[in-house]
Amino acid sequence: MLGNFTYCNPTKLYFGDNSISFLKDELKKYGENVLLVYGGGSIKKNGIYDEVVAILKDAGKNIAEVSGVMPNPTIHKLNEGIAIARAHKTDLILAVGGGSVCDYSKALSVSVNFEGDPWQKYYIDFEEPDCETIPVGCVLTMVGTGSEMNAGSVITYPEKKLKIGHVFADEKIMPRFTILNPKYTLTLPHYQMVAGIYDIFNHICEQYFSGEDDSTTDYIAEGLMRSVIHSSRIANKNPQDYEARSNIMWCATWALNTLLKKGKSTDWMVHMLGQAAGAVTDATHGMTLAAVSLPYYRYILPYGIAKFKRFAENVWGICADGKSDEQVANEGLLAMENWMKELGLVMSLSELGATEDMLPDICNGTIILDGGYKVLNKDEVMQILKESL
């Protein structure tokens, strides 16, 4: 662990199939005006909405709602929510949904008491809030993003073809509490379940494929990856397997709650490519990552050969005997590819509706980061996008 760091994660987690029973205790800590934020209606169909509203009413809360938060939430939807939250004099934002609802709620938290343009301040200038923020609590219904225990918030500006994430430095932006009930995820369509599984796996990869020192964090990452692979295979065959789904939920939270970046640089280029593709296609986040991953990793493999070899051996169980490092490393990526196909993930951008004429916009929208094994230039981004098509 050669890096210097501090670690603090203030989000209180309640995990398990009775975890919603703790919501009433959490609610006592906040004022009476609760803004209930949710998506396009899944929580009304599966009963979670009724359960949460009953608890809010029992606690004597005054409820306002922002409904219809879409996957890849937009700046326009944020502006709509800001007006509702202000009018309600909101004391607590309760996000009930997936990463989109959680991210959106954090964006609301930092925007309700800010008079200017939140897009410019938080997503272009990457500033921290200098206004009072509103506490956020989460009831998670879709597993993948880690938004339930981090300070990330991704917002899309469709007309500008930009989808940008801001990971706030201020711990106050992290949810104050999150209810993690694996049963709530059992109604997810298979497509969303596997997109979420790949999102988790890639969050770990993004933090693993960087650095060359002997880091405990990398061993934790390998353990999490093995757990995701193991449980994903069970859940893929039987999505109603509670134990597998609960392991996946727990892995998701630890994959992106700041633990795995401790003491390390991080890569995040798959996410930069995937988010740029998402801005243009509005496709499901995890699937955009799946579509660009293999062309990206095969491109950077020669620059990080030792780590890709380690990945092959420690995560995929590839035997290195009598093989060159490059051969072992490539076999690791092949094993990952086979697993992705087994899950039924999208393997190309064209399956998400992207066409060749969209690639320049996707390329322009790709933010280039420098923490991984190879700092790309725009020509290389374009080449990887073409290979992903």
Contact 170, 128 (CB under 8 A): yes
Does the footprint of ligand NZQ cover residue 304 (CB under 6 A)?
Answer: no
The interface region with ligand NZQ, picked from 143-151, 239-247, 310-318, 319-327 by CB under 6 A, is 143-151
Question: Residue from 199, 218, 267, 331 that binds Zn ion (CB under 5 A)?
Answer: 199
Q: Angle at the Cα of 330 (from 205 to 337), degrees rounded to 5?
A: 60
Which of helix, strand or coil describes residue 254?
A: helix
Closest CB to ligand NZQ among 30 and 104?
104
Q: How far is the CB of 180 from Zn ion (least distance, A)?
A: 18
Cross-strand bridge partners of residue 96: 38, 139
Look at residue 145 and give its three-state secondary structure: coil
Does residue 331 interact with Zn ion by CB under 5 A?
Answer: no
Rg from Cα positions in the chain: 20
Stretch that binds ligand NZQ, among 25-33, 146-154, 360-368, 375-383 (CB under 6 A): 146-154
39 counts as binding ligand NZQ under rule CB under 6 A: yes
**Which residues lie across from 12 on neighbouring strands?**
177
Note whether 166 binds ligand NZQ by CB under 6 A.
no
Tokens 């992207």 belong to 354
152 binds ligand NZQ (CB under 6 A): yes
How many residues make contact with ligand NZQ (CB under 6 A)?
36
Q: Is 99 in the site for ligand NZQ (CB under 6 A)?
A: yes
How many residues bind Zn ion (CB under 5 A)? The answer is 1
The DSSP element (H or E) to which 177 belongs, if any, is strand 177-180
Taking the complex as a whole, the smallest distance from the CB of residue 78 to ligand NZQ amounts, in Å, to 12
Residue nearest to Zn ion (CB): 199
**Please, which of residues 113-142 interact with ligand NZQ by CB under 6 A?**
141-142
State the binding string over 203-222 for ligand NZQ (x if CB under 6 A, else -). --------------------
Q: Say which DSSP state 74 is in.
A: B
Q: Which is nearer to ligand NZQ, 26 or 103 (CB)?
A: 103
Q: Which stretch binds ligand NZQ (CB under 6 A): 12-20, 81-89, 97-105, 298-306?
A: 97-105
Judged by beta carbon, residue 90 or residue 207, the one nearer ligand NZQ is 207
Length of the chain: 389
Alpha-helical regions (H) of the chain: 23-27, 42-45, 48-58, 75-87, 99-111, 118, 190-208, 216-237, 242-255, 269-281, 285-300, 305-316, 325-343, 359-364, 378-388
- For position 111 contacting ligand NZQ by CB under 6 A, the verdict is no
Amino acid present at 200 = I
Backbone angles phi, psi at 338, to 5 degrees: -65, -40
CA dist 168 and 152 (Å) reads 6
Binding site for ligand NZQ (CB under 6 A): 39-43, 46, 71-72, 97-101, 103, 141-142, 144-147, 150, 152-154, 165, 184-185, 187-188, 192, 196, 199, 256, 271, 285-286
Binding site for Zn ion (CB under 5 A): 199
